[in-house]
Structure 1
Amino acid sequence: MRRCNLHRIKKMAAAFFVFLLTGCAAIQEEEIPDTENTITSMEAEPELSYEVPASSANIFINQLGYIKDGKKVAVFCGKKLPEEFQVIRKDTGETVFTGYLENKGYDERLQEYNSYGDFSALCEAGLYYIEAPLIGQSYSFQIEDGLYENIFKEACKQYYYNRCGMTLTKQYANGVAHNACHTGKAVLMEDESVSLDVSGGWHQDEKGSKNVVLAARSIGVMLLSYELYGDSFTDEIGIPESGNGIPDLLDEIKYEADWLLKMQDGETGAVYSGVEIYEQNGIDKVCVEPADGKSTMAFAMALAKFGYLYQEYDGNYAAQCLAAAEYAWKYADLNLQEEAEAEEWRFAAAAELYRAKGRQSFHKYVTGYLAREACGENVNDVVFLGCVTYICTKQPVKLEVCEEIANTLMLRAEKIAREASGTLFLAGTESARNDNQELLRNMMYLTTVDHMITNKEYDSVIENHLHYFLGRNEKSISYIDNVGEGNYRTIDESMGIMKQFEANSKLIFMLSEIVGEHYH
């Protein structure tokens, strides 16, 4: 492994400004007989509880498994630890590998010893578990190529499962198939005499609510992962549009973009903030929430980014998205000068529109914002997206601004990697313990920088976080759907990363790098 030290970071930052990132088919719907029209949805802001029982044995592993030629490490914890451990084939009980524990140290807080067991030399495909004297057995795991590609596809497919306004057939949705929901018109919250067609898009909670800002943030994250690791995204994840020659991620985002376009007021360019479902006398009442500046600028950012990237597949639709984003921007020029809450979204929208259109008015806003609000270490997701777009645009830029952004990103990546490498599970930090959202956000930063400098240490840190999410953590819980004997679903449904609307988009981001590293 090689560490990217601060001297090298500064040297690389000077060159970073040259870093450039290089339609839907008809949907056939069918009635789903004898199926309750129940929404099974992600949660926008889940209530998480991490008070769970400890695993039966203190041997912590990735409960999905490991790539044949990949690094394979288990974590051992206990009052006393043995010198050796064995890897045993589950179907035959045969011991296929014996390894020695590498002492990590003593944890005063937990009053236990910690060690690592490396079994990377075992490369034969199969289903295994680890056994060690004084401790017992681990959960089972596989050794096989293609493991991470499967969960990557499932993460991408979560948004299809949450489509509103269309029938999800068993062919594509399996156990969550259901008839079309919320296909009627909604009424304006401010004036119930006005009705609008706001069907479509993605559900964001169990009621079927849809919020523009939440949608835009997730779209921005997924589209950046597509820009960086486009070869990881296929046209065959298993949605109705699969096989149409367009990456399925873009097909899925187009389904949401269709809904976003319905949320714009054609007379002003302002964008309604969302759709809420209220129960009234036992009947769902669908209401459109009032327009606001934050939603309008989030809309502009998402559609400008999507329109720019979608041009090679459908120029007319891409132009429609870009025109809608610019219309929203014009509304901002007239109405949002004093709305501070919308400013960071306006910056991100300006960065996207400048890249797509090249107009100096957008460039002036971007550089003016960065002069006032430096892209510092604690920058949020929205400003991060705008900064990355600016340094990756082919339009003329201020090189000193790009260098400052690059320096900031690299310094933050180095800090994330250093802190993660110092933890027992080689993931996260003490402050981010039990905060998967924060860990995923860190991986978004690290993955972005790793794309630029191809640092092998960063690759390792990113993959160690995947091991963490798949069960190699202090609770021995797999937070990924349908993976592991110690799965979150046996404890609390809301703990699953794929069930969290924004967290899942960051999981896709992280997996796009891992899949690209292993399979492309």
Structure 2
Amino acid sequence: MCGRCNLLRIKKAAAVLLVFLLTGCGAIQEEAPKTENIITSMEAEPELSYEVPASSANIFVNQLGYIKESTKVAVFCGKELPEEFQVIRKDTGEVVFTGCLENKGYDDGSKEYNSYGDFSGVCEAGVYYIEAPLVGRSYSFTIEDGLYERIFKEACKQYYYNRCGMTLTKQYANEVAHNACHTGKAVLKEDESVSLDVSGGWHQDEKGSKKVDRAAKSIGVMLLSYELYGDSFTDEMGIPESGNGVPDLLDEIKYEIEWLLKMQDKETGAVYSGVGIYEKNGGEGIYVEPAGQVSALAFAAALSKFSYLYQEYDEDYAAKCLEAAERAWQCADSEQGDKETEEWRFAAATELYRATGKQSVHKYVTRYLSGEAYGENMSDMVFWGCVTYICTRQSVKLELCEEIAGIFMQRAEEIAQEAAGSLFLAGGGNGQKNNQELLQNMMYLTTVDHMITNHEYDSVIENHLHYFLGRNEKAISYIDNAGERNYRTIDESMGIMKQFDANSKLVFMLSEIVGEHYH
């Protein structure tokens, strides 16, 4: 059965599931579907929620701004709230819009009232702020088309900024330009008499460490965003490879793939688990961490997926990657291991099956999906494998695909309900979720939105972007170069783009938003 037929049948099943889910809860109304017409401090263990001083604005907006024709909503909080608010042009002080506050409510926890102000009617390009009696004024914001494309480009370029082993020039890297680093040989941690060239790839933290499984996970997330929303990715992102006829995201990932290939033992197919930086004799040493089962399976998953998508541009290189992936797979112990190992085995098996069609690999996919409840607290690897399986052109077990679609649909509805019940319309606030969890939720919602094209989900996804850009309980913009109250003025480590794992999920979410608005 072809992949398109699989996906069409799954979409039909998903649509039935959506009707069931929507009609099964009286509090939810069905939305009409839309019409289809240097090292830059990527942290090793991101923690994106922080306590900050309580003295912040009482009018919460997206501090970057809004697309001209988009829905624009501000959140108001205070001991007392007025009846009206005004939108004021910053350069002239002119009042361009007066609106009424709606849906006033009272929060027992904060002992404050909260409300919403819709100013979607303001569409002229410019810089504005909102002012209201009793609560003051908001941070400023811009109304202009193209705003989200710029932060999408910046999110994609974070991996270029963190390239190891090459000089980044000011032409492409601006203030984070730096000379080539970590170009020397590394030694095996187990045997320092053996040296290896493991230069290249992306730094994952301030020290320059590089782990194979973390690299593979981010590669998987970004390649999935490319599969679903490929039109959002251009060949004009502003990296040295721009203009070569290959989408820059694939060029950037290929840079990381080159490093991953260096991490494979050419004789055995085993994959070293990472590169660490340590102090040695008053200087800096680089060691290669031992090979492992997880690193081999993560390697196999990432290179299989890349080979499948890259063959359109370079068949020979894609074949090289697939061969390396199969060798890593064969090297990995086939006996069942711990939870993480089996999750990576599942992801690798789905990608290898799609790329090769081998039934010997397919049995690992069906074994995993027929086992214990994989849908509970689904990891990135399992999510990755599930999406690949329902999209493959190879023959699949349709009942397993329908089960996956059902799990995705149920989770998407839960996320949408959580967002609708949140003050900031993004499933966050009041300590409910941190930014990592919200980004994880957006992976589900973005994928399901691609499957069924639902207007409500588009709105929820965009509301999460507003949340990350300042319309949140702390009035902080967590995105680089956006907002008067930016995370950099509080704590450098709070930025989403500075978190290796979180940034790939931001790319995923933005690919849908950019595709929705501009393609």
TM-score by length of 1: 0.92
Matched residue, 1:161: 161
Distance change (3 Å), C-alpha of 1:142 and 1:5: farther
What secondary structure is seen at the aligned counterpart in 1 of 2:236? coil
Matched residue, 1:264: 264
Q: Which amino acid aligns with 1:376?
A: G
Matched residue, 1:186: 186
Counterparts in 2 of 1:381-460, with a 5 A limit? 381-429=380-428, 433=432, 435-460=434-459
Q: Which amino acid aligns with 1:441?
A: Q
Maintained 8 Å contact 1:126/1:142: yes
Q: CA shift at 1:271, angstroms?
A: 0.6
What secondary structure is seen at the aligned counterpart in 1 of 2:288? strand
Q: CA shift at 1:173, angstroms?
A: 0.4
What secondary structure is seen at the aligned counterpart in 2 of 1:505? helix
Q: Which amino acid aligns with 1:8?
A: V
Maintained 8 Å contact 2:442/2:509: yes
- Provide the C-alpha distance between the structure 1 equivalents of 2:110 and 2:275, rounded to a whole number of angstroms: 47
Which 5+ residue runs of structure 1 have no aligned equivalent? 12-37
Maintained 8 Å contact 1:293/1:339: no
Maintained 8 Å contact 1:78/1:112: yes
Q: Which amino acid aligns with 1:75?
A: V
Q: Which amino acid aligns with 2:100?
A: Y
Q: CA shift at 1:377, angstroms?
A: 3.6
- Provide the C-alpha distance between the structure 1 equivalents of 2:49 and 2:434, rounded to a whole number of angstroms: 11
Q: CA shift at 1:49, angstroms?
A: 5.5
> Is residue 302 from structure 1 mapped to residue 302 from structure 2 by the alignment?
yes
Which 5+ residue runs of structure 2 have no aligned equivalent? 1-14, 23-37
What secondary structure is seen at the aligned counterpart in 2 of 1:192? coil
What secondary structure is seen at the aligned counterpart in 1 of 2:244? coil
Q: CA shift at 1:8, angstroms?
A: 1.6
Matched residue, 1:15: none
Residues 125-154 of structure 1 deviation map (CA, whole Å, 9 limit, x = unaligned): 100000000111100000110000000000
What secondary structure is seen at the aligned counterpart in 2 of 1:450? helix
Q: CA shift at 1:365, angstroms?
A: 1.0
RMSD: 1.6
Residues 211-231 of structure 1 deviation map (CA, whole Å, 9 limit, x = unaligned): 001000000000000000000
- Provide the C-alpha distance between the structure 2 equivalents of 1:240 and 1:298, rounded to a whole number of angstroms: 28
Q: CA shift at 1:378, angstroms?
A: 1.9
Q: CA shift at 1:39, angstroms?
A: 2.8
Larger CA deviation: 264-273 vs 212-221: 264-273
Query: Percent identical across equivalent pairs?
Result: 79
Maintained 8 Å contact 2:39/2:161: no
Distance change (3 Å), C-alpha of 1:386 and 1:491: same
Q: CA shift at 1:369, angstroms?
A: 1.2
Residues 82-123 of structure 1 deviation map (CA, whole Å, 9 limit, x = unaligned): 000000000000000000000331000000000000000111
Matched residue, 1:35: none
- Provide the C-alpha distance between the structure 2 equivalents of 1:373 and 1:227, rounded to a whole number of angstroms: 28
- Provide the C-alpha distance between the structure 2 equivalents of 1:249 and 1:472, rounded to a whole number of angstroms: 29
Maintained 8 Å contact 2:48/2:434: no
Matched residue, 1:92: 92
Q: CA shift at 1:433, angstroms?
A: 3.2
Matched residue, 1:368: 367
- Provide the C-alpha distance between the structure 1 equivalents of 2:121 and 2:48, rounded to a whole number of angstroms: 38
Q: Which amino acid aligns with 2:244?
A: N
Residues 151-209 of structure 1 deviation map (CA, whole Å, 9 limit, x = unaligned): 00000000000000000001000001011001111000000000000000000011100
Q: CA shift at 1:488, angstroms?
A: 0.3
Matched residue, 1:79: 79
Distance change (3 Å), C-alpha of 1:317 and 1:288: same
TM-score by length of 2: 0.92
Matched residue, 2:379: 380
- Provide the C-alpha distance between the structure 2 equivalents of 1:199 and 1:40, rounded to a whole number of angstroms: 17
> Is residue 353 from structure 1 mapped to residue 364 from structure 2 by the alignment?
no
Q: CA shift at 1:429, angstroms?
A: 4.6
Q: Which amino acid aligns with 1:104?
A: K
Q: Which amino acid aligns with 2:309?
A: L
Q: CA shift at 1:56, angstroms?
A: 4.1
Q: Which amino acid aligns with 1:513?
A: E
Distance change (3 Å), C-alpha of 1:39 and 1:10: closer
Matched residue, 1:34: none
Q: Which amino acid aligns with 1:460?
A: S
Counterparts in 2 of 1:476-491, with a 5 A limit? 476-491=475-490
Matched residue, 1:46: 46
Distance change (3 Å), C-alpha of 1:247 and 1:9: farther
Q: CA shift at 1:10, angstroms?
A: 7.2
Matched residue, 2:244: 244
Matched residue, 2:335: 337
Counterparts in 2 of 1:492-507, with a 5 A limit? 492-507=491-506
Matched residue, 1:288: 288
- Provide the C-alpha distance between the structure 1 equivalents of 2:46 and 2:412, rounded to a whole number of angstroms: 27
- Provide the C-alpha distance between the structure 2 equivalents of 1:394 and 1:39, rounded to a whole number of angstroms: 40
- Provide the C-alpha distance between the structure 1 equivalents of 2:299 and 2:468, rounded to a whole number of angstroms: 31
Q: Which amino acid aligns with 2:379?
A: N
Distance change (3 Å), C-alpha of 1:223 and 1:251: same
Distance change (3 Å), C-alpha of 1:444 and 1:312: same
Matched residue, 1:16: none
Q: Which amino acid aligns with 1:342?
A: T
Maintained 8 Å contact 1:432/1:439: no
What secondary structure is seen at the aligned counterpart in 1 of 2:101? strand
Q: CA shift at 1:293, angstroms?
A: 0.5
Maintained 8 Å contact 1:354/1:362: yes
> Is residue 8 from structure 1 mapped to residue 13 from structure 2 by the alignment?
no
Matched residue, 2:472: 473
Maintained 8 Å contact 2:48/2:495: no
Matched residue, 1:151: 151
Aligned residues: 490
- Provide the C-alpha distance between the structure 1 equivalents of 2:18 and 2:257, rounded to a whole number of angstroms: 43
- Provide the C-alpha distance between the structure 1 equivalents of 2:361 and 2:499, rounded to a whole number of angstroms: 33
What secondary structure is seen at the aligned counterpart in 1 of 2:424? coil
Residues 490-512 of structure 1 deviation map (CA, whole Å, 9 limit, x = unaligned): 00000000000000000000000
- Provide the C-alpha distance between the structure 2 equivalents of 1:481 and 1:429, rounded to a whole number of angstroms: 20
Q: CA shift at 1:41, angstroms?
A: 3.0
- Provide the C-alpha distance between the structure 2 equivalents of 1:463 and 1:48, rounded to a whole number of angstroms: 19
Maintained 8 Å contact 1:303/1:322: yes
Maintained 8 Å contact 2:430/2:473: no
Maintained 8 Å contact 1:5/1:414: no
- Provide the C-alpha distance between the structure 2 equivalents of 1:261 and 1:425, rounded to a whole number of angstroms: 44
